[in-house]
Structures are given as C-alpha cells and as structure tokens.
Amino acid sequence: MSALPLRIRIAIRDEWDDPKSVLASKVAELKTKLGYEIVPGLSTNWENFYKVLLPYYNTPGTDNIHVVSRISEYAELFYETLSQLVDSRDLDDKWIKSLLGALGTGAEACRLTLDIADIEGPRPYLSWVPGDGGFWMSIPRSPPAPKSVVVTGFQDDLLAPNFFYEEDEIPDHHTPVQSGERKWVKTDIADGKGDPSGLEGSASVPDISRMHVSSQPERGGATKRHLPAVKSLNRPLSLFKETAPYVMIVETTTSPLVVECSHQPSLELLADYLKTWGRQNPSDSLKRSFLKVELHESLFFAGLVDELTVEPFYSTANQKRPINPTIILAFIEGVLGFRETHTTGKRWVYKMDVIVDQ
C-alpha cells in the first residue's frame, strides 16, 4: 500500500481499518442483530482498486480521497440495508430463515467481498456464493451511483427470489447460486492476476421480477377490473419501472429548471448525458460545468429518484437569463421516446406507453 499517496493511505486507515470507523460500527450493529459477523474485504489490494476506479471517480481540483470514501460507503450501505431488512416487519419469516440458514452453512465469520467487475448499470450488485464465499459485491467501472439508487438496488438484490437458495434447498458449498439471467464476471484488475480469492465460477446478479399491474379495456366497451391488493404490488422502484405509462414533466417557470419523471432510469440517462457532455466553465478554478445537474430522491418513497434540476453553479448578472430547455425537450422525445401530451409553452407534459426493457 506504500505506492498510494499519503492522503489515500490515511483515508483507508480512518474509513476502512479503524475499529471506531462508521463501517466498523455498522458491522458490529449487524452482528448484534444476527449473531453472525460479516467481515468486509476487497478481492484484491487497495492499489488496484484505486488505479482502476480513479478514472471514473476522479473530480478535478480534489485529492481523490473520495475514491476510498465511496468504496467504504458502498460497504456501509450494504450493512445498513441488510440491517433494515432484518428489522422490517413487512418481510415474512421465510426470508429471515433463508438468510440465517445461508449464514450458518459457511465459516463462523461470513465475508463481504468487494470486487471490480464488467457489469452494466451505474450501481454495485450483490450476489451470494454458498459455503465460505459469502456475500459478493460487484462494482462497475463507471461513475459512482447516488446513495438512494444503491440502497434501493441492494434491497432488490437481497429480496430477489432464490437469492440464497434454489427452491429452498441449501446448494452445494462450492456451487454459486444462479439467481437471475444477467451475470457479472470477475475481471483482471490492474496486475493481470484477476481475483485472488480462490473462488471459481461466477455469481449472478439477481433479476428484478417484472410485474404489470394495469390492464387496459378494449375500445368500444367497458370491462371489469379489480384493483390489486397493496401487498401484491412490487416495491416502488420496481413497480414504476415495469408499469406504463411513464410520465415526465418539464417545468421552466421555476429556478432551477425542473424535470420530473415516474421512470427513474430515463431520468438518470438524461442526467448522465448532461453531465458527460456539459460545457466546462474556463473561469471556474474547480473546472466545473456552467450548469449543475442534480438528481433528487422522491418525497414519496425512499430510494426512488423522481426529479432532476438544472441550474448555474453560481449566478452573476449575465447568468440570470432562463435556461434554454430545447436540448432537454429534444432528448426526451428523440432519445427517450416520450411523446408530448400537453404544453403551455413553459411547461411540457410527456407520456410513454411502452415498457422499457431494463
């Protein structure tokens, strides 16, 4: 670890190794609830993690200690999410029994292994490797995802059908559980040696179950329809991904400019595009773009992002003019595929009836 800059080594010491760190407290809290210790670790050394992720996590004008902070935060969010699920009264006993049964099949201390993998999507994914493998977190080579997106994703992964067992049976100790169709692959990191953990095969990323709630009556006549029971509905992030129509509203009468949307992936794609190609302000010592693009968590549901705002990083007399929305409007129709249903000239309402394949 001596090859790392001094401030990075200090950050690792304070945020990862320190027994009084936030991460250590969350590990201890979960152990108290479960009776099992889940020990965090990396699939390779910190030098490789830092080298591989720095191009994606790099922020001009900073010392890049946030690379360590983000990795530590991913681990903290895992313990926080699992702890919340254990405390939840909405889960049946079957899931708790599956968790405890899985933890009881391996060593006395279970592992949480963080690895860099070639996977799609902005957030890390969780999988379970039976026996002594434990939990595996595969981190994509992409800019870090918002905390709310990570928490919701971890919940989806952990609650996916057969995350721990196939058909309620304890699998063979060295056979990874196949929980979904999309898989992640262990990759060679920086030294070309790949994953030194000794685990063979690949664990799969759980699929989010699809559930369509609405049914449309045929033209020319009314049909009877029953409202679903609340408990039969998917969690908000999954429900609004898989339920049409998607609704999007662009509001230019406010400052900042606001884009609201019921389909989180569409909103995230718009935000990522604006950030990726945003024009840099040469007068800004931090080399930021002229416009600040931010995603905001919904007030309705924890973990669901339903709003994007666009505004200047700082205001001057020359920057008080309204933000031109035409690029955003064109992206919504031409790239995302929404269609306009109403406009006042300063407020646009869009809908899309086609389910987007995730």
- Mean pLDDT in runs of 10 for the chain (358 residues)? 83 92 93 90 90 81 75 94 85 82 73 88 88 87 84 88 63 36 36 38 36 40 61 80 90 90 94 90 80 92 91 66 90 94 92 82
Q: How far is 309 from 304, CA to CA, in rounded Å?
A: 15
pLDDT for 131: 72
DSSP state of 340: E
Q: How many residues does the chain have?
A: 358
pLDDT for 114: 94
Sheet holding 134-140, edge to edge: 37-42, 109-117, 134-140, 125-129
Q: How far is 161 from 209, CA to CA, in rounded Å?
A: 8
Q: Under DSSP, is residue 124 helix (H, G, I), strand (E, B) or coil?
A: coil
Burial class (CB in 10 A: 0-12, 13-18, 19+), 105: middle
Q: Where are the alpha helices (DSSP H) in the chain?
A: 6-12, 22-34, 46-57, 66-87, 93-103, 147-159, 236-241, 264-276, 326-334
Domain residue spans of the chain: 6-159, 237-352
